[in-house]
Copies of this chain bind each other. A is one copy, B any other.
Amino acid sequence: MNIGDVASATGLPAKTIRYYEDIGLVAPRRGENGYRTFDETDLHKLSFVARSRSLGFSTEDCRALLELYNDRSRASADVRAVAEANLARVAAKITELEAMQKTLTTLVHRCHGDARPDCPILEDLAAPTA
């Protein structure tokens, strides 16, 4: 398989796949012509990474997870630790964003949003109340 095939199979842009090779997440062989040649294992790894990334794991997490995946004797606790750390990050981010959302919603609602110049949003940014 060439990179384009893998791109459509995984949904990852070819650029991204090259980048993943760069940072050592995958190591396809090369054909006579210098083209990358992906086998089923490469494809599987890339799908794994794509799925992991979509769940918020960093590329370093992906590297660790791939290693754990290939280590037949890993403890499931090790995997869970990685997943829990990520879950904590995600939860923290949600909390942070929800606080923003709350404030922004209030401000947007308070602003009449017409042609007049007075604006509660700017007033809050300039000197937040509470």
Residues of chain A having any CB pair with chain B under 8 Å? 44, 47-48, 51-52, 54-56, 65, 68-69, 72-77, 79-80, 83-84, 86-87, 90-91, 93-94, 97-98, 100-101, 103-105, 107-108, 111-119, 121-122, 124-126, 128
Contact = CB atoms under 8 A, between A and B. Distances in A.
Nearest to A115: B75
B83 A90 contact: no
A100 B92 CA distance: 13
How many copies of this chain?
A: 2
Q: What DSSP secondary structure best describes chain A's contact surface?
A: helix
Which A-B residue pairs are the 5 nearest by beta carbons?
A: A76-B119, A80-B113, A87-B104, A75-B115, A77-B113
A51 B128 contact: yes
Contact of A79 (B76, B79, B122): B122
